[in-house]
């Protein structure tokens, strides 16, 4: 069984150079902001980092104080559940049945029999995806 939570994410773009991600994540840590998740990946000559904070308002305030140029908030889903064979396949099948296209999905076994995932869908599909997954 999994818990699906609709939440917000923010993205930043940094140079794809050693230490740039550490600066951004360090600024958020130093502000005392708890992250539910984050992910980063190359985007041309830069890197994109997506932050999924526990408290969006506190994150926005901390980013401003730290002079991080963040995007406007966007919706995503955090999925947490019991790790088992096919857990992510079941999620994707439910979305396919609801005719929701997945933009991106990062999943990881969290150990102790648990897994977690970050799921992105098009803004027009957020409500449909939330219903299909029983998000709260």
47 and 87 in a single domain? The answer is no
- Whether residue 1 is predicted with pLDDT greater than 90 in this model: the reply is no
The size of the chain, in residues, is 136
33 and 67 in a single domain? The answer is yes
25 and 13 in a single domain? The answer is yes
**Looking at residue 60, which CATH number applies to its domain?**
3.30.2130.10
**Predicted confidence (pLDDT) per residue in 33-76, tens digit:** 999 999 999 999 999 999 999 999 999 999 999 999 999 999 99
**Predicted confidence (pLDDT) per residue in 20-36, tens digit:** 999 999 999 999 999 99
Number of domains in the chain: 2
Write the CA distances from 79 to 26, 30, 31, 56, integer angstroms: 25, 26, 25, 18
**Residue partners of 54: CB distance under 8 A and separation at least 6:** 33, 34, 35, 36
Within a domain: residue 100? yes
36 and 93 in a single domain? The answer is no
100 and 123 in a single domain? The answer is yes
């Amino acid at each position: 069984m999994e818990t699906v939570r609709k939440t917000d994410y923010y993205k930043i773009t940094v140079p794809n150079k050693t230490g740039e991600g550490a600066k951004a994540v360090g600024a958020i840590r130093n502000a005392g902001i708890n992250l539910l998740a984050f992910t980063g990946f190359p985007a041309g000559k830069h890197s994109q980092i997506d932050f999924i904070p526990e408290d969006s308002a506190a994150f926005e305030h901390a980013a401003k104080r730290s002079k991080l140029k963040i995007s406007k908030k966007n919706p995503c889903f955090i999925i947490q559940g019991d790790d088992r064979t096919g857990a992510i396949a079941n999620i994707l099948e439910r979305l396919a049945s609801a005719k929701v296209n997945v933009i991106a999905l990062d999943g990881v076994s969290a150990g102790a029999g648990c897994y977690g995932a970050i799921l992105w869908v098009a803004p027009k599909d957020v409500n449909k995806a939330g219903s299909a997954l029983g998000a709260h």
